[in-house]
Structure 1
């Protein structure tokens, strides 16, 4: 057993305890906590506590609202006072990138998530356990997602009981139903329910599905043809509307089961305004444009926007979003690294977690005056900036937006201006 005080926090949000010159990483622990570590495991070169007891509470700590806190992998920082969490996020970002930036908190810290993917397994229905890929927390509620979570889960359990459909077995990789995805339009009240299953539905199954989830405005049955543990399948409309809508400021976005949309509708306004504040000129290129989240917002404010996105379905959705909002924005299918960056005033990049890589060099050679880099991965940003972008651009401004309360993650918006 190892007893000691949590002195720091790791980049991925674990409390750190030093013993004999070596660090032990403790989940759900915060600076100032006193802990007794009874067991550890080695993972990626680190010793991570798997069995520990809290014997003295940090002044940074608060009571968690969720009864599943400490087991569920969804909210590592729910036991941390919110303002202290914001401070630590800014510290981690500066430690990683060398950039000091203000952090804006989410307008709501409960019921803010607009989507939840409940895994449906023989071990339980809910979310994955922290640190255990085969462990599932059998959820009763989820206060960061929705007050209706118990209702959704009750409907699902009754539906499975009536139809006899089997939950997925994570070890054997067998079963019928793998995920239930629920999306809510936080500002429209619209609900989409999407069942991800390994079987095609019979007529009776579809009728039962419609009856149990009559609360949904849009109902999908997605056929999953692989064994990968993710909430993806071939979406088939079972009932209701093909899309639900979310309203952010004066912009309406259509949402489909296969759409990526920022998970925090309430903080999304802050993120969009930050991008808008850093955007300059008239012509804007939105690389990795997705469903047009940034591009449509900017076009609504008078910018002339062109977007490039590799996913054809996302491009289709982006153009639909431009159409329903009546804005001057055109989105095209293309690879970011093959895009001819012409006479644009501002380029917005919101790359995947791995970062820009070769696209960064493309931007350096382009001559574009201003690049706005949006990222939830500060290490990827640092790599892109230090390796490529720094040769031509300086950091003019940066702001952090807390899209992910109760977690160590934060969204960064960095304004890069070409050096003279």
Structure 2
């Protein structure tokens, strides 16, 4: 493997520094723009050997696992620089499709930390013992880091690695790699095991006993309830009298602070609307909040999330009429005539965006929408379709709930 001295010019979308060598782009993990680095060259990538000239924005990482753990990419970069870069990511995505828009400063929304974690579980056999490891994968590797702690998580998730190892020990005989998802809820820890496949009654009973002993709120296997001592709910940081029921494994914003911030921005953008369609509503964290000011109908393909939303509606009375319906908006978007009763729409699609739904909005008479996105590139694609149909972007606000990660959320207000 050859070596080279490179100048890092920019940051790539995955948080790697990007340099040029012999006319080709080379990605160098854990480097920053403006740095001169000594590297070992691979194909399109390079391994950092030495930082010759560090960036003024380089800081000491907070976690001892940084650099080997694949969970974080940007612990070595000053928060102010990360915030500027994430804002520029959105601007760049819009420019790529020929759009200009007012993009505000990035709002930090880390709160107390991430309220959900998914840990990988692996079994290691030695001549003297069976070891169970639980943690994150090493960077660019299939090896697992046996996790002790993670500074990104809320304090309530501190027991998660030990719980994962205990569950892995119970299931060690099945010989499969497992995932262990833990969510911090009002009622306690909500845990879901994935990857085991069907298991016998004996193992199921051992898992139930484990859940009881650890005082878990709920334990599920591939979403199927094994034990539910208390029905988990998530709290609303900005609405302390409200809470939403949590179905097993359903989508959840990474931090409670971000969910609250995104909701405030959505409500600002929809201010004055009388009836709103909450598209890709999930378990209803936005819809429930919006219902305090306007009528809401939510749609999502996740039937369990819709059932939880409906239950939360009954448990949080006092707002405007609100309802929820299971519907796959990718295969069967709300068609233009169906959008007629709404004077505004809230879109919060998964990372791939909402192209099919946007095409129906374009054909409708709808004049206002708020778009919540976790992917600047898919948002820019959809925004281009909307702008070509007469919409204008009046405001974009970046929201950073993904500390030390290249990901960024945004809320955009659009009207025509």
What is the TM-score of this pair, normalised by structure 1? Answer: 0.85
Q: 3-state DSSP class of the match of 2:413?
A: strand
Q: Does the 8 Å contact 1:235/1:258 carry over to 2?
A: no
> How many residue pairs get matched?
390
- What residue in structure 1 maps to residue 85 of structure 2? 88
Q: 3-state DSSP class of the match of 1:153?
A: helix
Moved over 6 A (4+): none
Q: 3-state DSSP class of the match of 2:118?
A: strand
- Choose the corresponding residue for 2:308, options 311, 317, 321: 317
- Choose the corresponding residue for 2:65, options 68, 76, 88: 68
| Deviation, structure 1 residue 159 | 5.0
| Deviation, structure 1 residue 210 | 3.7
Residue 177 to residue 24, structure 1, CA distance change in 2 (3 Å): closer
CA distance in 1, matches of 2:156, 2:274: 43
Question: Is 1:181 paired with 2:181?
Answer: yes
Question: Is 1:139 paired with 2:132?
Answer: no
CA distance in 2, matches of 1:245, 1:319: 15
| Deviation, structure 1 residue 100 | 4.1
- Choose the corresponding residue for 1:358, options 353, 356, 359: 356
CA distance in 1, matches of 2:328, 2:193: 31
Residue 137 to residue 334, structure 1, CA distance change in 2 (3 Å): same
Q: Does the 8 Å contact 1:193/1:213 carry over to 2?
A: no
- What residue in structure 1 maps to residue 130 of structure 2? none
CA distance in 1, matches of 2:281, 2:254: 16
Counterparts of 1:56-205 in structure 2, within 5 Å, are 56-98=53-95, 99-108=101-110, 111-122=112-123, 124-132=133-141, 134-147=142-155, 151-158=159-166, 160-161=168-169, 163=170, 165-166=172-173, 175-176=175-176, 178-185=178-185, 188=186, 190-196=188-194, 197-200=196-199, 202-203=201-202
Residue 391 to residue 54, structure 1, CA distance change in 2 (3 Å): same
- Choose the corresponding residue for 2:24, options 22, 25, 31: 22
Which blocks of at least 5 consecutive residues in structure 1 are unaligned?
A: 42-46, 167-173, 223-232
Residue 263 to residue 324, structure 1, CA distance change in 2 (3 Å): same
Q: 3-state DSSP class of the match of 2:291?
A: helix
CA distance in 1, matches of 2:153, 2:215: 16
- Choose the corresponding residue for 2:229, options 227, 240, 246: 240
| Deviation, structure 1 residue 389 | 4.0
Question: Is 1:399 paired with 2:390?
Answer: no
- What residue in structure 2 maps to residue 218 of structure 1? 217
Q: 3-state DSSP class of the match of 1:180?
A: strand
- What residue in structure 1 maps to residue 296 of structure 2? 305
Q: Does the 8 Å contact 1:364/1:389 carry over to 2?
A: no
Q: Does the 8 Å contact 2:211/2:218 carry over to 1?
A: no
| Deviation, structure 1 residue 378 | 1.1
Residue 373 to residue 156, structure 1, CA distance change in 2 (3 Å): closer
| Deviation, structure 1 residue 157 | 2.7
1:166-218 deviation line (CA, Å, top 9, x unaligned) = 4xxxxxxx725611111113xx4732122333342545763565447744441
Q: 3-state DSSP class of the match of 1:323?
A: helix
- What residue in structure 2 maps to residue 282 of structure 1? 274
Residue 25 to residue 164, structure 1, CA distance change in 2 (3 Å): closer
Q: What root-mean-square deviation, in Å, do the aligned CA atoms of Structure 1 and Structure 2 show? A: 2.4
Q: 3-state DSSP class of the match of 2:143?
A: strand
Q: Does the 8 Å contact 1:306/1:329 carry over to 2?
A: yes
| Deviation, structure 1 residue 128 | 2.1
CA distance in 1, matches of 2:274, 2:369: 14
| Deviation, structure 1 residue 136 | 2.2
Q: Does the 8 Å contact 2:246/2:305 carry over to 1?
A: no
Question: Is 1:410 paired with 2:403?
Answer: no
Q: Does the 8 Å contact 1:156/1:212 carry over to 2?
A: no
CA distance in 2, matches of 1:215, 1:104: 39
Q: Does the 8 Å contact 2:86/2:408 carry over to 1?
A: yes
| Deviation, structure 1 residue 284 | 0.6
1:47-83 deviation line (CA, Å, top 9, x unaligned) = 1224543333211111111111112222111111112
